[in-house]
Each structure stands twice: as structure tokens, then as C-alpha cells.
Amino acid sequence: MLGSVALEVAVGLVFIYLVLSIICTAAAEFFLHRYLIFEGHSCVNGYGWFSEERRRLHFIGGLL
């Protein structure tokens, strides 16, 4: 009985972790897209600052 409750709590926490990770990564990518591309920055071809920050955000999103 207690093990079943603990398992449900653990699964719930993992689900919340995954949802928050996806939301935080999406929000950060939206910010980068909105404020870097439309502000005149053109380093979005896979070699510039934007691609480096995007890679870093995916890493940070995975750590959340």
C-alpha cells in the first residue's frame, strides 16, 4: 500500500519535471527567436551565436 503511493508520487514528480522542462525550453527559444531574429541579428544559419545558445538551452532544459 505505502509502496504503491510512493510509486504514484514518483511518477507524478517525473511527469511534472518533464512538463516544466519542455515549457522552460520552449519559452527560452521563443525569447531567443523574438528578440534576436527580429532585432536584426542574422546569426541563425547554424554557425552563429543563436545556434550556440539554442544548443545550450536544450542542455539546460534537460538539466531542469
DSSP the chain: -HHHHHHHHHHHHHHHHHHHHHHHHHHHHHHHIIIIITTT----SSSSHHHHHHHHHHHHHHH-
Backbone angles phi, psi at 41, to 5 degrees: -75, 135
Give tens-digit pLDDT for 6-64. Answer: 999 999 999 999 888 888 888 877 777 666 655 455 555 444 555 666 666 666 655 55
pTM: 0.49
CA 45 to mean position of chain CA atoms: 21
Cα–Cα distance list, 22 to 1, 13, 38 (Å): 32, 14, 23
**Residue type for 57, please?**
L
